[in-house]
Amino acid sequence: MKLSPGQLMRIPNRRVLLRACRRALLPERTGSTDLLRSLEAAFQWTCAAQDSRPDGGVAGYYNLVRGWGESYPETTGYIIPTLLHYAKTMGVAEARKRAIRMADWETDIQLPSGAVRSGMMNVRVGPAVFNTGQVLFGWVSAYQETGYERYAISIRRAAEWLVSIQDEDGAWRRYLSEVTTSTVQSYNARAAWGLALAGRELAEEKFAGAAVKNCDWVLGQQYENGWFDRNSFADGEPPLLHTIGYVLEGLLGAGGLLNKEEYIAATIAGITPLVNLYQRAGVLRGRYDSNWRSTVSWRCLTGEAQIALVLCRLYNITGEAIYGETARLLLDGLAEIQDTGSPHAESYGALPGSHPLWGAYSPFNYLNWAAKFFMDALLLHLFKVDVSEKVSNEATSDVGI
């Protein structure tokens, strides 16, 4: 990355940039990780990301050259259940307050149609199917936590909009996003899961029915080797590990919620090649083609956190040791990259989009959704707390799988 003298002068914190580059070039190998510390550090970074914005949302990223980004409605939405569960599990009341502030902000900026807008707050306003599905997770968890009717109203408006624009075959092809170019997206299975949660919470069968239609369509995109077609931000592009994680999360979540064994079986078929690849090579790459060949050399850390999360869920469902063991190895690998020694709030507890941090997925950015999925996987691995479930009133118990 070449920077002009003017850009160097405008870097918000040059020490953060220099530290990040040094750690990427000369990684610190301690030989051990402290996953509880990693969880706490990821929470602290998420707090810093929220505090960087005046509106209550969470900054989508910290860019090492430009600084904090704008608030991101989509990811703020699914961070809400993460913080509510963290609050209960760790006894941190601040996390609950932050989550409720996020939920209120999401309601305030909901579009008149009921949809959630595309991209971050500096992106042209336009509705997005995926983003709407993700914020449903936040509103559902906030409604369960507080009983506030305004969240139920937001849930219904968003779910009604998703149903109204769904195609007959179950796919969504309209209003996909202002920041993606693909014409149809298998990873919207995670939006379908959010719609199914809305249906359960509001006892509305048509929401669950629409979720089933989409997940059934997604099953039709799966190859015999477990790979999913139409699963990228751009047509013809090998999918990111991130979007592979999304489709696996969505099918597994909807399968458990709706008692659809075929969705769980599809998840197992889709994650088994990744487990095998990791067992052989000790690493996952950022993109995979239809033959499960990696097409890039860099790692997608958000995707790794998501795969670890899916593996933790599958371990709890099946008891298969390989799932729990692989999840732990992935989490240890992420913990080694996470900076838990930084004196800077901008990087303490953060995870970059790619490893090395100049890889092609969101280069030189620390991402709020990477921290979110890392926290989710750690909560499930350490405490058996699943952020997709209702916050329990009972104290948490033993640590670790």
Q: Summarize pLDDT for 272-304 with one digit per residue, the tens.
A: 999 999 999 999 999 999 999 999 999 999 999
Model confidence at 370: pLDDT above 60:
yes
Q: pLDDT by residue (tens digit) across 337-353?
A: 999 999 999 999 999 99
Contact 368, 46 (CB under 8 A): yes
Contact 214, 166 (CB under 8 A): yes
All residues at 6 or more sequence positions from 305 whose CB lies less than 8 Å from its CB, including other chains: 245, 330, 331, 334, 351, 370, 373, 374, 376, 377
pLDDT reported for residue 363: 97
Alpha-carbon gap, residue 362 to 66, rounded angstroms: 13
| Chain-centre distance for alpha carbon 294 | 22
pLDDT reported for residue 394: 57
Name the nearest CA neighbour of 229 among 291, 290, 306: 290
Domains of the chain: 35-383 (1.50.10.10)
Element (H, E) at 302: helix 301-318
Give the mean model confidence (pLDDT) for residues 211-225: 98
Say which residue the tokens 């969705």 belong to: 263
pLDDT reported for residue 27: 80
Give the mean model confidence (pLDDT) for residues 214-221: 98
Q: What is the mean pLDDT of the chain?
A: 95
pLDDT reported for residue 399: 42
Predicted model pTM: 0.95
Q: Which of the 8 DSSP states describes residue 148?
A: -
Alpha-carbon gap, residue 305 to 246, rounded angstroms: 11
Model confidence at 392: pLDDT above 80:
no
CA torsion through residues 229, 233, 238, 239, sign: negative
- Percentage with pLDDT > 90 across the chain: 92
Q: pLDDT by residue (tens digit) across 77-121?
A: 999 999 999 999 999 999 999 999 999 999 999 999 999 999 999
Token representation of residue 226: 């477990």
Contact 317, 327 (CB under 8 A): no
Q: pLDDT by residue (tens digit) across 164-176?
A: 999 999 999 999 9
All residues at 6 or more sequence positions from 86 whose CB lies less than 8 Å from its CB, including other chains: 39, 43, 92, 95, 375, 379
**What's the full length of the chain, in residues?**
401
- Beta strand 67-68 with 61-63 is antiparallel
Which residue type is seen at 234? Answer: A
Q: What is the 3-state secondary structure (H, E, C) of 213-278?
A: HHHHHHHCCECCCCCECCCCCCCCCCCEHHHHHHHHHHHHHHHHHHCCHHHHHHHHHHHHHHHHHH
Which residue type is seen at 306? Answer: Q
All residues at 6 or more sequence positions from 332 whose CB lies less than 8 Å from its CB, including other chains: 33, 35
Model confidence at 6: pLDDT above 70:
no
Token representation of residue 110: 């909901």
Contact 211, 278 (CB under 8 A): no
Q: pLDDT by residue (tens digit) across 247-265?
A: 999 999 999 999 999 999 9
Model confidence at 401: pLDDT above 50:
no
pLDDT reported for residue 3: 53
CA distances from 257 to 200, 250, 315, 372 (A): 9, 11, 17, 22
Give the mean model confidence (pLDDT) for residues 358-387: 98
Model confidence at 366: pLDDT above 50:
yes
Q: Name the residue with higher pLDDT: 2 or 243.
A: 243
pLDDT reported for residue 4: 56
Cis peptide preceding 356, ω within 30 of 0 = yes
Alpha-carbon gap, residue 97 to 291, rounded angstroms: 46
pLDDT reported for residue 171: 98
Model confidence at 54: pLDDT above 60:
yes
pLDDT reported for residue 28: 74
Give the mean model confidence (pLDDT) for residues 198-218: 98
Beta bridge partners of 355: 299
